[in-house]
Structure 1
């Protein structure tokens, strides 16, 4: 456990990639296999359930430290990190709470089902045996989150260096929903992956196209297709078995049983298709993304749900066929094989994302401007000769989205940010007019420059009307243009709607709050998108 604490401290005290890789390489060279496996799991998002709530930890730590709860909470909002705050309000102790990381993870799993009082007793006993640094790490483990700048690419780079493997090989081995409790370091990294596996490949991702498309060169060298709005996934057919994985590496086959129904009883070739699970209407055309909402989070949807909210797999790419890894083949070759395979499957639940005929970038831009008429978010622009990369590689795949929708809204609530912005109010809630009332409808956290953030922070501090814990209600005076990708109905919000990917486009210093938009404007947009 002390080794792991040292690793976290090393990672937390540098922003340099090479130093982070060196720290991880040091750990992988010195720790035992089970501890190394848990580090890989924690940094790749495979964390156990949260063992206790942040409210419980705050209360227990304040009692142990003899501090009023409000002081602990104010300290947290200033420090910006709860695990760090709770680690420092208790005195340093020298002991051995856990021999190693594996023992600590077993402890966390063992206390998860206990009552709050039993958890309190077990956790506070461990706190009394720890230094502040060890408590910080332990608290992070209990709360289930490490934000230490260890990206997936950085982790795979460090592992590749330690294991003498390629980054791509490491990424493939890490894919899927493996569990550190049932998987060994040896089987994950030292044995050849089984050909009978139904694990997904690491996804190839696109960069936003922010420059003029003419800078990409001749359009003849590129494939143009619509960008569909759904759930990115890989459909795997292996040894007459079918599996559907999301981009977040969740196995979602049970949530979409229609794929099993149509494919498992057929004589199907082994293949891995990359594509999008899209909602469709009664005519088989793409439906708005919010039509997928009733399907999400359901392990076994009812027949009624399946009937009311049908889906289709729109294939983009073919990355494995009859046991052959096609990722290093040119995209245009993979596309041709994909068309032949889907025609051979002959099922109505799978089709191919059609290529668009464009003789110039101007023609492509015209198609992009009308993409929403097709139920699309814009265009995908892919180099014909591109391979199927792991992650993002600039220069080969781009997403060229339609311009976002915008609306002018009023700032009504604010809360401090986290990390380096812990002392600034950067989390904002915005409202629109409904009659004579301002109704909150969305939150946004990004879009302002550092100078603008400081000015808004000063306004918030000088114009606070009420405080609700960490939240401040502010004088409604500032207007901001909010950009978003789409609207969907929501019963959880007072406004009755929820925005997709809201962010601040600009501060409208030229507008008074009376000029902000009305909620009816969004409701009309929603109604239009549903018709």
Structure 2
């Protein structure tokens, strides 16, 4: 199949809000794909190619982008083969070789295909083809029950492989996909609530557990063989020898554990998330030791526990790994839930997760049985620039560049603004239209993709915190920033300062 057909489908999906229309468009595409292209196409649609990360960033992508082709000629298989070559390129001179591979690829791509390829490689493909929608489309294309497709995808951790099996295999083969020790499954996800008591009201009796600011891990042990996977199911066993040692010491033969790992300070408190991720993402050994904390067990010694109630799984976890179980209490009392939440925050953690004690482990699902509660931080910052959108936001200014006030000129000109991040989240259609018009009125310069504006517009954002960053001059970046509202009542000189935001970093 020509890549242009897949790209057109992503545009069609991005241009509609109708879930049904998205599913129909994707199902039609899946039916037309050759079997050999199905798994590849699914990975491309969700910006998760089967090769994983191939070492390309914005700088490399920009350096490789030349004049586009006039007519489409690239196939899905061509792009997949290029990603194979990029993934295999390593060692001295690999950066230049990657750029050369990319130049050949993008030279054969039309302008729209170039943008699509960049989105896939940078993980910033905003098409509306979320995994849930795509799972429904696979079921539609294969004429299989959605629940059967969803469960197979969850337990295999591979939506592309599931799509191939559902479309080309039998119903019995799809139903036969099960939990296998050593093969990662999609992690269970949590909804959100404003308070622990509100979450408890939704779940009933629950396990109220600390929400750690660490890295999610799924650990599989089969005899003496231990494998560790990330939230995205990438294997990182070689990076976490201390976790391997802990799990090998547990009194079990086979086990699958779900949990978090994080760096601790000298007093046993959590170090900043950025330090955990720096150690977590390193191929070489680092000085910081990562401590594992487990909050669930999916399998033990031949017994699958996915469908067992949480209270049973907690009992198993208490028996095999009491020293490594995440702190928490089982309660139906809102006052107790709030106390545990306060204790978690006082200990330097993010908040709590409230989990219904009778709930099964719903791999890959975000339902009301797990509910996370953490304080929302809001700050007023200034818009420095705005990027043109793509897909449904084509023709609209979308991604905001955000700056904090620097009154003393610690990181630039006194009274200037220091960039601390970007966001396109939280913007309604009305806000998109308004800011597209307004920011062009405030324009001071532009490139093909970005409009820089006078720094006079204050926007209130919600964030989950900040992290250390060498990308921005203030040394920090906002975490999960989303727009709450524009503050017409505030002057830019009243915005929050870079010093205020930097104070959020734990020492």
Instruction: Give the TM-score normalised by the residue count of structure 1.
Output: 0.76
C-alpha spacing 1:202/1:26, structure 2 compared with 1 (3 Å):
same
Match of 2:77 among 77, 84, 102: 102
Q: Give the drift of 1:384.
A: 1.0
> What pairs with 1:181-330 in structure 2 (closer than 5 Å)?
190=173, 197-210=181-194, 213-214=197-198, 217=201, 221-264=205-248, 268-299=252-283, 301-302=284-285, 305=286, 308-330=287-309
Match of 2:484 among 501, 505, 521: 505
Q: Give the drift of 1:5.
A: 5.0
Q: Give the drift of 1:256.
A: 1.1
* Matches of 1:59 and 1:244, distance apart in 2: 40
> Bigger shift: 365-374 or 428-437?
365-374
> How many pairs align?
473
Matched, 1:46 2:18: no
* Matches of 1:421 and 1:256, distance apart in 2: 41
* Matches of 1:10 and 1:164, distance apart in 2: 22
Matched, 1:175 2:157: yes
Partner of 1:81: none
* Matches of 2:202 and 2:65, distance apart in 1: 60
Q: Give the drift of 1:121.
A: 6.4
* Matches of 1:247 and 1:420, distance apart in 2: 29
Matched, 1:460 2:444: no
* Matches of 2:205 and 2:112, distance apart in 1: 52
Partner of 2:454: 475
Residue 311 of structure 2: SS of its match in structure 1?
helix
* Matches of 2:102 and 2:384, distance apart in 1: 38
Note if contact 1:369-1:402 (Cα within 8 Å) is conserved in structure 2.
no
Q: Give the drift of 1:457.
A: 3.1
C-alpha spacing 1:219/1:115, structure 2 compared with 1 (3 Å):
closer
Partner of 2:93: none
* Matches of 1:464 and 1:341, distance apart in 2: 62
Q: What's the RMSD between the two structures over aligned residues?
A: 3.9
Partner of 1:144: 120
The superposition leaves residues 331-366 of structure 1 with CA deviations (integer Å, 9 ceiling, x where unpaired) of: 1111111111114xxxxxx61012236563244335
C-alpha spacing 1:42/1:463, structure 2 compared with 1 (3 Å):
closer
* Matches of 2:379 and 2:118, distance apart in 1: 40
Gaps of 5+ in 1: 65-89, 344-349
Partner of 1:13: 12
* Matches of 2:154 and 2:67, distance apart in 1: 42
Partner of 2:411: none
C-alpha spacing 1:39/1:497, structure 2 compared with 1 (3 Å):
closer
Q: Give the drift of 1:310.
A: 1.7
> What pairs with 1:515-526 in structure 2 (closer than 5 Å)?
515-526=494-505
Instruction: Give the TM-score normalised by the residue count of structure 2.
Output: 0.79
Note if contact 2:213-2:350 (Cα within 8 Å) is conserved in structure 1.
yes
Matched, 1:383 2:385: no
* Matches of 1:324 and 1:466, distance apart in 2: 63
The superposition leaves residues 189-208 of structure 1 with CA deviations (integer Å, 9 ceiling, x where unpaired) of: 95966986511112110111
Match of 1:494 among 457, 467, 473: 473
C-alpha spacing 1:176/1:313, structure 2 compared with 1 (3 Å):
farther
Q: Give the drift of 1:269.
A: 2.0
Q: Give the drift of 1:25.
A: 4.7
Residue 447 of structure 1: SS of its match in structure 2?
coil
Note if contact 2:126-2:391 (Cα within 8 Å) is conserved in structure 1.
no
Match of 2:396 among 414, 417, 424: 424
The superposition leaves residues 88-114 of structure 1 with CA deviations (integer Å, 9 ceiling, x where unpaired) of: xx2x58xxx57x743563366458966
C-alpha spacing 1:104/1:224, structure 2 compared with 1 (3 Å):
closer
* Matches of 1:277 and 1:111, distance apart in 2: 30
Note if contact 1:319-1:326 (Cα within 8 Å) is conserved in structure 2.
yes
Partner of 1:402: 375
Question: Which structure has the greater CA radius of gyration?
Answer: 1
Partner of 1:411: 383
Match of 2:67 among 60, 85, 97: 60
Matched, 1:36 2:38: yes
Note if contact 2:260-2:294 (Cα within 8 Å) is conserved in structure 1.
yes
C-alpha spacing 1:143/1:368, structure 2 compared with 1 (3 Å):
closer
* Matches of 2:101 and 2:466, distance apart in 1: 44
The superposition leaves residues 211-247 of structure 1 with CA deviations (integer Å, 9 ceiling, x where unpaired) of: 8945854875222111111111111111321011111
Note if contact 1:27-1:36 (Cα within 8 Å) is conserved in structure 2.
no
* Matches of 2:112 and 2:131, distance apart in 1: 23
C-alpha spacing 1:517/1:29, structure 2 compared with 1 (3 Å):
closer
